[in-house]
Amino acid sequence: MNPIRKIVIVGGGTSGWMAAAMLSHHLKPDVCRIELVESADIGTIGIGESTVPPFVGLIHRLGIDERDFMQATQATYKLGIKFVDWRQRNERYFHPFGAIGKRIGAHDFYQCWLRARQAGNTSSLQDFSPCSVMAESGRFFLPGEAQNTPIGGAGYAFHVDATLLARYLRRYSESRGVTRVEGTVGSAARRDNGFIEAVELEDGRRIEGDFFIDCTGFRALLIDKTLASPFEDWSKYLPCDRAVAVKTSSVMPIPPYTRATARRAGWSWRIPLQNRVGEGYVYASAFCSDQDARSTLLRGLEGPILEEPRLIPFVTGRRRETWRFNCLALGLAAGFVEPLESTAIHLIARGMDFFLRYFPDRDCDAALVREYNRRIGADYEEVRDFIALHYCATAREDTPFWRWCRNMPLPDSLQERIELFQGHGALREGVDELFRNASWQSVFEGMGIRPRKHCPRVDNLDMESITATLEMARQAIRGMVGNLPTHDEFLRGQSRTELIGRPLM
């Protein structure tokens, strides 16, 4: 055995401190030391505030108290994303977390609903999503505390303040023995076999390690500048390459969802926190100047701005090898698939999950490294395809940007998924994917892609019982959601206590 005794993390943004937190949760400081270097001069990107449900699982796995975490990061609950004007102007749809409907007998819910629609039923798919119905009425309840009720299948994530998140994870990590060094890394020294031996700070200090984690954001100091891992550019599938972001004052009530509104050359986000709102416009510079983007963002704001808007250029794509030699890249250093479905923080956690699963010794067995790169690469591609679907399925023709999207090239994997779905509504299911059937079905439906036929197996169910079951389910969700606290009430914590002991149905 040739065990790793010291891991050096370079970068103290969300990815650096997430890596530190996850490592310090799993490794004892007397077995493997963890040191994090961050540069106060460079700072962090300071955005990335909308998460997906596995993030809640991570917080729990780290043994963090959810309410304490929410208070410290000014977090709110997120039930999904409301998409405005994506298929056509003045149309909207919701991509919810959690389940949509329950199986009817041995039959898939979506197929039953599809058959009912084809027979003239007018219910909408989202009538059967507890998250969609809660979001529409601005209500919230923890699904874990309402199991075996009509909203038991819901899921949730958080909106968090990015700066407070990094601060929280820093406290968590330092209390578990992680040491922090402030300084700017100028270069890295390598051994004859290509492995990194040490990082060298601009002030002359040198930090040696057995393994290095590059969390330096878009600078990608180790994985790119030192190890030259090639970058796979995905801008031909995802044309947005810039964002302008701003913080604004809160507008009440606080919605329990992220809003993504399609604009002339991209889309704008609205992420509500307890104490403020994060807003931004993600756009394609080939179709929109920075000045126009700034004006579009400012025109669409609801509350007064709290600071000057910031411009953030980015390239969509990923490093072909995010693990090379004894260096792993996480976060923006590893790649970035634009923020439409709030997946970047999730990919950081996945990167760490896989690293812990394939944890190496100092030799970094090449087969382990290959498997890691294959597995994390599949996650990035899944996210890329899912996001590209939101653009390519548009029916908008009102601006050059949307006309381009209608004719954009598609990755083969996405083209195959669309063709498969358009037949009988079948979905390609991978192992352990982030976006499950309910997500693909919601976006397909929201973007106007519906299968030509239902699966013929559903014809074995009689139509009357399908219709009656759908109606009962619809009413049960609606009835229960009507009695739930509003999101604001839930955040204040009042209704939770009031509801204890009160039957939820």
Ligand X SMILES: Cc1cc2nc3c(=O)[nH]c(=O)nc-3n(C[C@H](O)[C@H](O)[C@H](O)COP(=O)(O)OP(=O)(O)OC[C@H]3O[C@@H](n4cnc5c(N)ncnc54)[C@H](O)[C@@H]3O)c2cc1C
Which residues belong to the active site? 78
Kindly state the smallest distance separating residue 411's Cβ from ligand X, in Å: 21
Can residue 13 be called a binding residue for ligand X (CB under 6 A)?
Answer: yes
Report, in angstroms and rounded to the nearest whole number, the Rg of the chain calculated over CA atoms. 23
Alpha carbon distance 23, 48 (integer Å): 21
The smaller minimum CB distance to ligand X, of residues 100 and 245, is found at 245
Can residue 217 be called a binding residue for ligand X (CB under 6 A)?
Answer: yes
Alpha carbon distance 125, 314 (integer Å): 35
The smaller minimum CB distance to ligand X, of residues 40 and 366, is found at 40
Among candidate residues 34, 143, 139, 140, the one with its CA nearest the CA of residue 99: 143
The token pair that represents 53 in the structure block? 């449900």
> What DSSP element (H or E) covers 332?
none
Can residue 149 be called a binding residue for ligand X (CB under 6 A)?
Answer: no
Residue 182 carries which side chain, given as an amino acid letter? E
Alpha carbon distance 247, 261 (integer Å): 17
What 3-state class would DSSP assign to 365? coil
Among candidate residues 421, 350, 398, 495, the one with its CA nearest the CA of residue 89: 398
Phi then psi dihedrals of residue 229, to 5 deg: -70, 125
**DSSP code of residue 438:** H
Can residue 20 be called a binding residue for ligand X (CB under 6 A)?
Answer: no
Can residue 332 be called a binding residue for ligand X (CB under 6 A)?
Answer: yes
The smaller minimum CB distance to ligand X, of residues 132 and 258, is found at 258
**DSSP code of residue 305:** B
Alpha helices in 194-307 (DSSP H): 290-299
Kindly state the smallest distance separating residue 500's Cβ from ligand X, in Å: 33
Alpha carbon distance 77, 87 (integer Å): 26
Taking contact as CB under 6 A, which single stretch among the options 37-45, 117-125, 356-364, 438-446 is the one that binds ligand X? 37-45
Taking contact as CB under 6 A, which single stretch among the options 88-96, 226-234, 336-344, 424-432 is the one that binds ligand X? 336-344
Contacting residue, 22, 34, 35, 39, with ligand X by CB under 6 A: 39
Taking contact as CB under 6 A, which single stretch among the options 40-48, 139-147, 358-366, 388-396 is the one that binds ligand X? 40-48
The smaller minimum CB distance to ligand X, of residues 314 and 358, is found at 314
Contacting residue, 72, 301, 305, 312, with ligand X by CB under 6 A: 312
Strand ranges for 141-227 from DSSP E? 157-159, 179-182, 185-190, 196-201, 206-208, 211-214
The token pair that represents 201 in the structure block? 């700070």
Instruction: Check if the beta carbon of residue 433 is closer than 8 Å to that of residue 264.
Output: no
Kindly state the smallest distance separating residue 78's Cβ from ligand X, in Å: 10
Can residue 14 be called a binding residue for ligand X (CB under 6 A)?
Answer: yes
Alpha carbon distance 14, 332 (integer Å): 10
Can residue 345 be called a binding residue for ligand X (CB under 6 A)?
Answer: yes
The token pair that represents 122 in the structure block? 């007018």
Can residue 47 be called a binding residue for ligand X (CB under 6 A)?
Answer: yes
Can residue 15 be called a binding residue for ligand X (CB under 6 A)?
Answer: yes
Contacting residue, 45, 157, 427, 491, with ligand X by CB under 6 A: 45
**DSSP code of residue 230:** P
Instruction: State which of positions 157-186 bind ligand X (CB under 6 A).
Output: 162, 184-185
The smaller minimum CB distance to ligand X, of residues 107 and 219, is found at 219
Phi then psi dihedrals of residue 342, to 5 deg: 50, 55
Q: How many residues at the interface with ligand X, by CB under 6 A? A: 39
Can residue 314 be called a binding residue for ligand X (CB under 6 A)?
Answer: yes
Can residue 37 be called a binding residue for ligand X (CB under 6 A)?
Answer: yes
The token pair that represents 266 in the structure block? 């991209």
The smaller minimum CB distance to ligand X, of residues 145 and 182, is found at 182
The smaller minimum CB distance to ligand X, of residues 50 and 149, is found at 50
Can residue 216 be called a binding residue for ligand X (CB under 6 A)?
Answer: yes
The smaller minimum CB distance to ligand X, of residues 13 and 239, is found at 13
Instruction: Check if the beta carbon of residue 308 is closer than 8 Å to that of residue 230.
Output: no
Can residue 12 be called a binding residue for ligand X (CB under 6 A)?
Answer: yes
* Interface pattern 274-303 for ligand X (x via CB under 6 A): ------x-x---------------------
Residues that bind ligand X (CB under 6 A): 10-16, 37-39, 42-45, 47-51, 162, 184-185, 215-217, 219, 221, 243, 280, 282, 312, 314, 331-333, 339, 342, 344-345
